[in-house]
Amino acid sequence: MLLLALFAVGAQAQLKNNKYHEPIKVAKKWKKYNPGDVIFRDESPESGGSKIFHNIIPEPTPYIQENALRVLQTLYRSPKDKNVPKLNRIIYTLKEYDGVSEKYGHGDHVGIRYSTKWIERSFAGNDTMKLDYETRGVLYHELTHAYQLEPKNCGEYSDGGEYWCFIEGMADAVRLACGCFEQDFQSKDRPRAETWRKGYRVAGYFLWWIQQTKDKNFLRKFNRSAAELDTWSWDAAMKHVLGDKPENGVEALWEEYRKAIGEK
Ligand SMILES: [Zn+2]
């Protein structure tokens, strides 16, 4: 009996240290918030990926809504924040196509497609927790696009510049902060790069490091800077949030970050 109990504790401790951990808690103030109605569509019900998805996520609507709250609480301090975009509906579609996932639409009507082929690939080894971790991670990224603020006068998405880097860097920073990339700077989830301008996880880990070391509300404030600055840039936003000093410029912080994580 004792041995069994010990074994149970051991298994639980192991689960906590496992990267495929339980999802982060939704804060009380967000629990009753409506993140938008979810319409679930399955356009490839015959695919293997669809069957796997339905087995693991029998009720997609509450699953998506709960994960939307995790994204919202990472981006905004409270539902009372006037900057929180009110989404009318989120159309979530399973579809067989080459790719991973994508968000489309804008304003209060957005859609997210998730590839059944990607589901099949992520389920290699029949690891249910791995698939949930991946699916949730992808959802955090795409839902960030639905709820994040958009910076002004700093180019457009297609030019791959500062605007694009903000949009994709924040999406991966939120995914990381919610626990769906390894929270270890030495892990291979963090791509090595010379510049934060590569966006995605390169920028995401950088932003998350600033949150760890400079300001625990950094991601929310960085998101808010998009509404507060008339002409947005990475440099201006960092100084706006952390204080207008040379050491808070984006290049200075990038250098400090790389030294701190032992990359330089
Ligand atoms: Zn994206």
pLDDT (tens digit per residue) in 114-172: 999 999 999 988 999 999 999 999 999 999 999 999 999 999 999 999 999 999 999 99
Distance 102 CA to ligand 1 centre (A): 7
Looking at the structure, tell me whether residues 32 and 91 fall in a common domain.
yes
Strand partners, 74: none
CA 261 to chain centroid: 22
List, in order, residues 6 or more apart from 192 with CB less than 8 Å away: 263
pLDDT at residue 35 tops 70: yes
Distance 103 CA to ligand 1 centre (A): 7
Looking at the structure, tell me whether residues 133 and 208 fall in a common domain.
no
- Residue 68 is assigned to a structural domain of this protein: yes
Q: Which domain holds residue 255?
A: 157-260
Q: What does the alpha-carbon distance between residue 93 and residue 228 come to, in Å, rounded to a whole number? A: 34
Looking at the structure, tell me whether residues 113 and 166 fall in a common domain.
no
Distance 71 CA to ligand 1 centre (A): 14
Q: Among 2-11, 124-133, 218-227, which is the least confidently predicted range?
A: 2-11
pTM, entire model = 0.92
Cα separations in angstroms, 109 against 104, 112, 130, 223: 9, 10, 30, 20
Distance 230 CA to ligand 1 centre (A): 24
Number of structural domains, the chain?
A: 2
Q: What is the pLDDT of residues 160-209, one digit of tens each?
A: 999 999 999 999 999 999 999 999 999 999 999 999 999 999 999 999 99
Categorize the per-residue pLDDT at 108 as very low, low, confident or very high, splitting at 50, 70 and 90.
Answer: confident
Q: What does the alpha-carbon distance between residue 185 and residue 198 come to, in Å, rounded to a whole number? A: 17
Distance 174 CA to ligand 1 centre (A): 11
Distance 56 CA to ligand 1 centre (A): 24
Contact status, residue 111 vs residue 145, Cβ threshold 8 Å: no
Looking at the structure, tell me whether residues 32 and 122 fall in a common domain.
yes
Q: What is the pLDDT of residues 37-71, one digit of tens each?
A: 999 999 999 999 999 999 999 999 999 999 999 99
